[in-house]
Structure 1
Amino acid sequence: MRPSVVDWKMLRFGVEIEFIGGKPEELELLPGWVMSLDEHQLDETGLLSGSELKPPPMLWSEREQIRVMLARLKAQGASANWSCGLHVHVGIEPWGQDAVLALLDAALRHQGALEQLLRMSEHRRMYCPPVTQEIRDRYAAEPCAESVRNQARPQSQRCGINTGTWFDIGTVEIRCANGSVEFDEVLNAIELCLRFVAAVGAGANLPDNGDPLALAAALGAPASGYPAPAPAPQWYTERIWLEDALFPSMMPLVQQLIPGGELHDILPVADGLRLTIEDTDGKHHQYVVEPPTSGWTVKRQLA
């Protein structure tokens, strides 16, 4: 990529604000804003809650819209908990697809410091795994969306610095920040991501020592004030441990039910285990299965 200096305030961005509670169906939206009502989070009991709020692509000068929408959310009683994240999209059109490889290289050098600066909760790594050398090399050999896809369960397919969104909407998505409905915290995360992408696009010589404060200083970004981490409850941690233990034995059944499908999650229900399988088009299929004595028994398919 030929480096090109672009003022970070001139980069278009979006942000996905995940929250629990509130009344998302009733929230008054500013023009262009979207409430993704099918994007639920988990409350403290494990029930689906809240939604995901998204603005249209905007410039830094338009950021007051975020303050307005967060105030409306909070007035409804919405909040962010351990299950919520904050995903920042930054437009990389000024550099085009060449920026993808540059961002993968930058991720290999700086993603650890970026995660520390954003205070990413460790249990959220499922949703934002690191870019690996294998991903970078695969993309260099075959530059396409599939090459930057993390080869794992559906929740883990998009890296913390997710360049796959270039192929869909012309952005890089930085997924590491914890959830928040506090304006200053959300804005600090957005500013950091904008400055980071602008620095990569400009070919800036950022520190490679893994020090988050050194990275913030080099970028001119806030050194603190990002969404705080929150520990996941013990029941959620145990659920993930159980899922991880069951995954290998479940995969032959998954392929029998949905060829090419991937296991999204496993949850206990009164008469067995509920499997959610994601097919190659991203559609979810649910089955209740009975634990085997000699082999798994499919009891029914859910609508």
Structure 2
Amino acid sequence: MWPKTVDWKQLKFGVEIEFIGGKPAELELLPGWEMSLNEHQLDETGIESGSELKPPPMLWEERDQIRIMLSRLQAQGATANWSCGLHVHVGLEAWGEQMVLPLLDAALTYQDTLQALLRTSEHRLLFCPPVTTAMRERFALDPSAQAVHNAGRPQSHRCGINTASWFDIGTVEIRYANGSVLVHEVLHTIELCLRFVAAIGAGTELPLDPQQFAAALQAPASGYPASIPVPRWYQERIWLEELLLPFLEPIVQKLVPNGEVHDILPVEEGLVLAIENSSGKRMKYLIEPPAEGWIVKRQLPD
């Protein structure tokens, strides 16, 4: 049922806390908490590090569990850097599938405002592309997860306001926040997301200015995870990936039909091409650049 007024503190939520360092396999977990050991972020040298910590669905009154787990993470030496994100899932049980279309409309209206308030690092926009009018139109005709799927690279198939998660786990996922293991930043982000979803669920219109937006929601106006610039080497890697993608797409489709490139990593023997299939399974292939076929446009100054 939509619209429907629901106290934001009565909405169940989850949060994906990405971090680097620490000893994730050894961390003592509270009941129901999970550690995803296959979701490695990158440390400052480019080595996969850390993991992703997730609680069970919880209510705001249970948030002290987050304080406990973040304290344990920090005691191990875990931190969050430019490669980490903070993703909040908010349960939509109070409204059901009728909430998806209003959330798409809200995304078209407020996604830039949320992005500005949460100070999303520019390089993280790959992981949270905008909802488009075309998605909204597709969903109106075909209310399915595929209608709100952003085709392209797996890093970018979930929008910043990700309504596809309704079809997986009954939530909307808000992906704009930068990474953090600081309790006040994590809780501020969760509170903002809960208040935002509750407001959209009630059919509330909100200001577009970020500070006025926060004030209308009675959410924190600041104290969110900081934007952290990427190292030069990582920026260069992304530029190289974007350059290679059009050339490698035929190989990708031959190796994994309907696959999507996860990443391209240069190694001594050539390139490691990581591809995800339609089920989310990742496969890696070692490939060699062609002996001919590249075009040298001009020499650049040293």
- How would you bin the TM-score normalised by the shorter chain? over 0.9
- Superposition pairs of residues 253-268 of structure 1, within 5 angstroms: 253-268=251-266
Question: Within 2, Cα distance between the matches of 1:114 and 1:280?
Answer: 30
User: For residue 174 of structure 1, what is the aligned residue in structure 2?
Assistant: 174
User: For residue 223 of structure 2, what is the aligned residue in structure 1?
Assistant: 225
Q: Which runs of 4+ in 1 moved over 2 A?
A: 293-296
Question: Within 1, Cα distance between the matches of 2:133 and 2:76?
Answer: 44
Structure 2 gaps, min length 5: 295-302
Deviation larger for 39-48 or 281-290: 281-290
User: For residue 238 of structure 1, what is the aligned residue in structure 2?
Assistant: 236
SS of alignment partner, residue 227 of structure 1: coil
Provide, for residues 119-168 of structure 1, a one-character-per-residue CA deviation record: whole Å limited to 9, x for no partner: 11010001001111111111111100001111111110000000011001
User: For residue 159 of structure 2, what is the aligned residue in structure 1?
Assistant: 159
1:293: Cα distance to partner? 2.3
Question: Within 2, Cα distance between the matches of 1:269 and 1:205?
Answer: 51
1:234: Cα distance to partner? 0.7
1:285: Cα distance to partner? 1.3
Provide, for residues 73-114 of structure 1, a one-character-per-residue CA deviation record: whole Å limited to 9, x for no partner: 000000000000000000011000010000000011001010
Question: Within 2, Cα distance between the matches of 1:40 and 1:64?
Answer: 26
User: What amino acid is aligned across from residue 57 of structure 2 in structure 1?
Assistant: P
User: What amino acid is aligned across from residue 238 of structure 2 in structure 1?
Assistant: I
Question: Within 2, Cα distance between the matches of 1:21 and 1:264?
Answer: 22
User: For residue 15 of structure 1, what is the aligned residue in structure 2?
Assistant: 15
Question: Within 2, Cα distance between the matches of 1:204 and 1:222?
Answer: 18
Residues 1:32 and 2:32 aligned together = yes
Residues 1:117 and 2:117 aligned together = yes
Query: Structure 1 length normalisation: TM-score?
Result: 0.95
User: For residue 196 of structure 2, what is the aligned residue in structure 1?
Assistant: 196
Question: Within 2, Cα distance between the matches of 1:277 and 1:283?
Answer: 8
SS of alignment partner, residue 96 of structure 2: coil
1:184: Cα distance to partner? 0.5
User: For residue 147 of structure 1, what is the aligned residue in structure 2?
Assistant: 147
Deviation larger for 145-154 or 277-286: 277-286
Question: Within 2, Cα distance between the matches of 1:144 and 1:265?
Answer: 27
Question: Within 1, Cα distance between the matches of 2:268 and 2:291?
Answer: 18
User: For residue 91 of structure 2, what is the aligned residue in structure 1?
Assistant: 91
Question: Within 2, Cα distance between the matches of 1:32 and 1:254?
Answer: 38
Residues 1:80 and 2:86 aligned together = no
User: For residue 290 of structure 1, what is the aligned residue in structure 2?
Assistant: 288
SS of alignment partner, residue 166 of structure 1: helix
User: For residue 298 of structure 2, what is the aligned residue in structure 1?
Assistant: none
1:294: Cα distance to partner? 4.3
User: What amino acid is aligned across from residue 265 of structure 1 in structure 2?
Assistant: D
SS of alignment partner, residue 14 of structure 2: strand
Matched residue count = 294
User: What amino acid is aligned across from residue 259 of structure 1 in structure 2?
Assistant: P
1:211: Cα distance to partner? 1.0
User: For residue 301 of structure 1, what is the aligned residue in structure 2?
Assistant: none
1:13: Cα distance to partner? 0.2
1:263: Cα distance to partner? 1.4
Query: Structure 2 length normalisation: TM-score?
Result: 0.96
User: What amino acid is aligned across from residue 290 of structure 1 in structure 2?
Assistant: E
SS of alignment partner, residue 126 of structure 2: helix
1:249: Cα distance to partner? 0.7
User: For residue 299 of structure 1, what is the aligned residue in structure 2?
Assistant: none
User: For residue 300 of structure 1, what is the aligned residue in structure 2?
Assistant: none
Residues 1:269 and 2:267 aligned together = yes
1:295: Cα distance to partner? 7.2
Question: Within 1, Cα distance between the matches of 2:75 and 2:237?
Answer: 33
User: For residue 129 of structure 2, what is the aligned residue in structure 1?
Assistant: 129
Provide, for residues 1-32 of structure 1, a one-character-per-residue CA deviation record: whole Å limited to 9, x for no partner: 63100000000000000000000011000000
Question: Within 2, Cα distance between the matches of 1:167 and 1:81?
Answer: 31
1:278: Cα distance to partner? 1.0
